[in-house]
Structures are given as structure tokens and as C-alpha cells.
Chains A and B, each alone.
Chain A
Amino acid sequence: MPLERVSKAFKDISMSFQVNPINYDIIGLKNENAIARSVRNLVLTSPGERFFNQNLGSKVSRSLFENIDDISASVIKDEIENTIRNYEPRVDLIDVIIDPDYDNNNFNVTINYFIVGIDALPQQLSFALQPTR
């Protein structure tokens, strides 16, 4: 009897709520995309935003109105690292690089990580943190 191979996969829903034109189902996010979205969600969620889970999220938004310098970058880096370690068990963090972009008044964030549980290459997630009101 052939051994049934259970593939471990991560499936999440897309917040765009668009419809797949082929099967008319809602669009989903899988594996690397799902985890990248999750990491981004965690970084962009402020503590207190989620119901009955006051600590979830990172406090990066508090540092975005500080002077754009290496000190702020270091604070943001620590905050992102802590958040991912605490709340995203599927990610094995390699490093977090915060690059202050003085001209555009923002921080460029690059997060490098392995995915735990599926056979995938090291991932790199980049996005910019901009002070917005």
C-alpha cells in the first residue's frame, strides 16, 4: 500500500476579497505569500488594535515620527525582531535590515527568514515604513 504523503501547506485568505475568474472562489494566499502577508500584518499592527489581545503587534509606528537616524532604525529593528519571534512561529529569522531613507522620509525594511515546516528557499520581504497620520 503506497504511503499517503500529506503535504504541509499554509493557506490564508486574501484581504482583497477578489474572485478567482476560473473557479469563482475567493482568492487565497498560499505558503510563502501567506507567511509574507502574516509577517507584514504583525509589523503593521499596533498593540491594542486586536480585540482581547493587547500585546499583539509591534510598536514601530511610535518610532516613525522620531528623527530618521540609526538610533530610530535600531529601535525599529529590535521591535520587528521581537514581534516576529513572539508571534510568528512559522518563521526562522535570519536578519532584519532597516535602511533609513532620508530623502523620502521613511525606513526601508528588509526581512530575511527561513520558513519552518515547508521546503522553501530563504525568503526576503521588503517594504517601506512611512509616517502617516
Chain B
Amino acid sequence: MALVNFTNLDFDQIKTSIKDYLRSNSNFTDYDFEGSNLSTIIDVLAYNTYISSYNANMISNEVFIDSATLRENVVSLARNVGYIPRSRTSARATISFFVDTTGFQSNPLTLTLKKGLVCTSSNTFGSESYTFAIPSDVTVPVVNNIAFFENVVIYEGTFLTTNFIVQSENPAPPQRYILENPNIDTSTISISIKDTQSSTSSRKFILSNSLFNVTSLSRVFFLQEVEDQRYELIFGDGIFGEKLQSLNYIDVSYIATNGENGNGISSFNFNGRIVDNNNNLVTTGISLITTNVTSQGGKEIESIDSIKKYATSFYSTQNRAVTSSDYVTLIPKIYPEAQSVSVYGGEELNPPQYGKVFISIKPFFGPFVPNSIKDNLKTELRKYAVAGIIPEIIDLKYLYVEADITAYYNSNLAPDSEFVRTLISNNINSYANSTELNKNGARFKYSKFQKIVDDSHESVTSNITKIQIRRDLRAALNQFAKYEICYGNAFHIKTMEGYNIKSSGFNVSGITETVYLGDQPNIDKKTGTLFLFSNPDFQNPIIKKSNIGTIDYEKGEILLNPINIISTSKSIGGESIIEISVIPVSNDVIGKQDLYLQLDINKVVLNMKTDDISSGADVSASLYDVTSSYTNGLRIRQ
């Protein structure tokens, strides 16, 4: 009998196969007894085979990107297809402050905020304080003894510098320029090169991700991730990129960051260094710091799973955005804060808009991509897009589900209502964050949601859950604008008297009071008209303006005729919004087409009631606290 099984990775199985071999091919018999000499020899053979098999298995796994597990191997394999994994990204905040130069001995013309440390977080977060820096100097003029540093973008992390001296033009082995810190945000790397260390002038080199437009004189450097999440700088060879000369002095500066830990910081203390145009240090007259934008956008280094996913897709795009999936792959690379991307061609619309591709992006932070980033993204995408095709970045259309839950629980089986409430809340949170929702084409399954509440704890006996759907209208203030809001779900007409939709308050030109949207169904119960009403005492509504738009109950559409909204009572991230909620015909809510379905955790109401019948406190049910299955009678959203 020959040894046939070469692929075993289990020591005992290898040992068994050697014993089987000896059983049929040898005069020896004692291999079955652990104390025998033969058994010791078999152990050594099996162990040797085991190590060889393990090594062979690991090597063959690490050769392919699908099965590789070590980061440096995955990165190396991704490099073969031209994919550079995303580095850790520092959180960015925008601040403003001014310096009053009154009383300075010499009147400075300009003030310069030097690169490096600018601020520290004024509060400690989990016993940690964060530092914020800028990668290059910021100079502003002094006007009327005041120097305004406005909208300075600061980066969370430590500003670091390192230097290399080029040993010779063709050293053997080749000289490597490795940045030793593993937490670098590569977008902050700045390189200047001097002819020698003592030279006074320097040349700036910029990062290049491809060989496009790179000539023998281009001052570029390339970057690659090497072992232990560090980065290696690669310079040109005189054909692609300028070649470095012997004794050239490389000055590298970068920011090493804490990644996503630096997000959400809004309060800063100044710790920077300001000098005037005569290089005198400024220490007085510096105002408190105003935070324009809270720190956000900090991210960890790209994970192994993400590299595996995007490296292959990235290769298939060939640096070109042609199909919609090309855009889906390219956008997270250009804009790392993208959590999910949805892309469709204009020809799919009704009516079709040929020559356009529509992109909606859900960022990790906040609901919408800021307008400034949208413009940048469009410019970046033009480099990849097919000539004649215009990328249009549109805001995600969120369809929120709001739930009003009354859960009954058996008080004998739970320590208190808060205990049960916490369990239910946790489960609802998990459901809200699951992939069942949070995507285009998602469905909120009412019965499953009720089951999640019921199954939260053994004490929960039943629940009554009322569902509303809501969309937020982003108002264009102080201008006449037409609005169309689609819900993709049919609306329930509770009463022909109207007030089936509920909105938050807003002000329009020509009406002094805060107004709300109301609806009046037509006889056919399919469509209706919209009106504005005020509701000062929450009891008797006063209609202020009729026929301001139409409502289609079957299609789930609200259409507002041109209207000049001047302010709204609610806002999200500085954007004025009007919340408009309706009761859907079906409790199963569908996120149709471009609607991104979310369960709004902040608007989930959870009431706890004891089930006195189950607990035995009220066996006859004569005092049972009944909960209505229908929503409240308010006409507006508060």
C-alpha cells in the first residue's frame, strides 16, 4: 500500500496514514503502542510531515489574494494590479480665529501660522487628549491691526518630519526610503528635496498614483505600503520622474494620526506658533478659537477585507469609469468617507437624461455629502469618465421609518421595566443598523420588527407598534422653488376631512405665523390638494393658503407649487428641513428605486406597560390598560 493522502493538515491523521502504511508493508508490529521506539519514530515523521504540509498550505494560500491572510502579502498582491490601499485618514476640522496686533512694537504686514501643532482638544476624551496640526504654513494679511485666520483646516495627529540623504545614484543594494511610523495619513505627506543638506533652495515633489503625464522631468514620488503598515517612498528613475542625485537631501513631513478616534471634537485650545513677516514670534492678541466644522472624516487604515474586495474591482475598472460598477469602485478610492455608493445611468430615468450618470453617496458621517466635496468629486471623476458623459452627484433620498411601540411585559419575569426597555432598545438598534435596511431596495418588515420586540426578553408578552414614514424636505430658503417628494409607498387616508400628512413648522413669505402642510383628499380618494395652516393652540387649525400643491395617495407623492420658504423650525447639519410624515397603507415599507430606507432610532418611541393579565394582578382583565393601534390625533409634527 502506498501513502496516498498528501494533503492532511491534521497530525493524528498523518500518523494514522503512516501506521496504515507500516501495517501492510512492514515486519514491525509495535507501532500501535505509544511506548514503543517505533511509535517515537512515527511521531517524528508525522510531525515533520505536518510542518511541511502546514508550510505548503500557508505558502499556497498567501500566493493568492483571495486566500492570503497576512496584510503585507495582501498589499503586495494588490500592488500587482496597481491598487494602493488607503492609508489611515486623519479627522479634519475647520477653525477660525484672529490676532489683534494693536500694541505690537512694529506693525506687521502679515502673520504666518507655522506648520505643525495648532490646537489641542480642550476636553479629554476617554482620558486622551488629541492634537491637531497643519501640514503647511498659512499666511494672512494684517488689516486694521487684525489678522483673520478664517476656515483653517486642521488635521488630527502629530506633525512629524524625517530626512534621508541619497547615498549614491545607483547604490547596491538599492537604498530604501521607508517612513517608520505606521499611522501616517499619506495625503499629508509633503516632500522637498535639496541638492545637498546645506543648500538653501529646495524642490517640491508631489505624489503620483500612476504614470499618466509623468515625464523624465516630473518631480513626483510614488508610494507603496510595505511591512507593518509603513510606507516606502519611491522616486523617479530619470525616465518616469526626475532621478535623484547623490547627496540630495530629502525632507519629508507628514501627519501621524489616531484615525477615527479623532472624530467629533468641537472644542479646541490654541497651541500653535505664529510669526510676523519679520519672523518675530507672536504670543499675545490671539483670540479664542471658533469651530466652523467639528472634526470628522478620520478613518482607520483600509482593512484586509476591503483591499481584497476593491483591488480586484479596481483592476477591472482599468482606471476608467465606464459602467456603473466602475463608479462604485472608484468613488470610495477618491472619497474614502463614502459608506455606500449607488450609481445609475440617466437613460434609466423617466424621462431619460442621456449623457449623464447619477451618483448618490452615503457618507460615514452625516446624511449628505457637503457641496464643496461634491464639486471636487465631480472634477476628480472627470479624469476617469468617458468623454461626453457628465457625472452628477445627487443627494441620497432618505425614507425614514418611525415606530411608536408599546410593549407589554409580565412584571413577574423581569426585574423592572427599564431592564426590558434596554433590551428592546438594543435589539431595535441592531435591526436599524443591519443590512436589512440601510440600502436602496430595502424593505421594512413589520411582522419581523414586532417579533424582534417580542423576542427581546421572555417577559415581553406582546407589543402594539404604529408605523409612520417620513421624508425631510431640504428647503431652498428665500427663493421660489418647486418641490417634489416621493415616498414610493401609498398613503393611508385616515379621514376625508384631511390632515392625513403631518409636517414640522416653517415660515413662508407673506404669512407671519408658523405654518404647516395639510392635505384635503378628493372624492376619488386617489389624489388631493395641499394647503398651509397655522395651529397656534394645537386645537383649531386656521387655513392660511389653499391649493399650494397636490398629493397623490396611491403613488405616494407630494408636489408643492413654487413656494418661498424663508425659515424652518428644524435643521440637520445646518441645512433647513421640513419633516413630512405620513401613515403608509401597508406597514411593510419599501425603499423603492433611489430611496434609502432607514429606521430613525431618534424618533422611535418605546412605552413600557405591565401586562397585568399575564402577571396575575388582574386576572379578570377588568382594569386592563388598552393601547390604541392608531396614531394620535395631532395635526402637526412637534
Asked whether B57 is an interface residue with its Cβ less than 8 Å from the other chain, the reply is no
Asked whether A24 is an interface residue with its Cβ less than 8 Å from the other chain, the reply is no
Task: Give A38's nearest chain B residue, CB to CB.
Answer: B35
The number of A-B residue pairs with CB atoms under 8 Å apart is: 62
B28–A88 contact, CB under 8 A? no
Given A51-B46, A52-B11, A52-B12, A29 and B37 contact (CB-CB distance below 8 Å) = yes
B30–A11 contact, CB under 8 A? yes
A71 to B65, CA, bound (A): 62
Given A10-B29, A28-B28, A38 and B47 contact (CB-CB distance below 8 Å) = no
Question: What residues on A are CB-neighbors of B38 within 8 Å?
Answer: 12-13
A38 to B37, CA, bound (A): 7
Q: How far is the CB of B51 from chain A (nearest CB, A)?
A: 10
B43–A34 contact, CB under 8 A? no
Asked whether A93 is an interface residue with its Cβ less than 8 Å from the other chain, the reply is no
Asked whether B40 is an interface residue with its Cβ less than 8 Å from the other chain, the reply is yes
Question: What residues on B are CB-neighbors of A14 within 8 Å?
Answer: 37
Given A50-B43, A51-B11, A52-B12, A10 and B37 contact (CB-CB distance below 8 Å) = no
B40–A41 contact, CB under 8 A? yes
**Residue from B29, B30, B41 whose CB has the most chain A CB atoms within 10 Å:** B30
Asked whether B34 is an interface residue with its Cβ less than 8 Å from the other chain, the reply is yes
Asked whether B539 is an interface residue with its Cβ less than 8 Å from the other chain, the reply is no
A12–B37 contact, CB under 8 A? yes
Contact with A along B27-63 (1 / 0, CB 8 A): 1111001111110110100110000000000000000
Question: What residues on A are CB-neighbors of B40 within 8 Å?
Answer: 41, 50
Contact with B along A90-110 (1 / 0, CB 8 A): 100000000000000000000
Chain A interface residue count, CB cutoff 8 Å, equals 25
Task: Give A14's nearest chain B residue, CB to CB.
Answer: B37
Given A38-B35, A53-B34, A89-B33, A11 and B46 contact (CB-CB distance below 8 Å) = no
B34–A12 contact, CB under 8 A? no
Question: What residues on B are CB-neighbors of A15 within 8 Å?
Answer: 37
Question: What residues on A are CB-neighbors of B46 within 8 Å?
Answer: 51
A88 to B28, CA, bound (A): 17
Contact with B along A1-32 (1 / 0, CB 8 A): 00000000111111100000000000011000
Question: What residues on B are CB-neighbors of A9 within 8 Å?
Answer: 29
A90 to B37, CA, bound (A): 15
Q: How far is the CB of B54 from chain A (nearest CB, A)?
A: 13
Interface residues, chain B, with chain A CB atoms under 8 Å away:
11-12, 27-30, 33-38, 40-41, 43, 46-47
> Could you show 9 A-B contacts with beta carbons less than 8 Å apart?
A11-B30, A13-B28, A29-B37, A34-B30, A41-B35, A42-B34, A50-B43, A56-B34, A87-B33
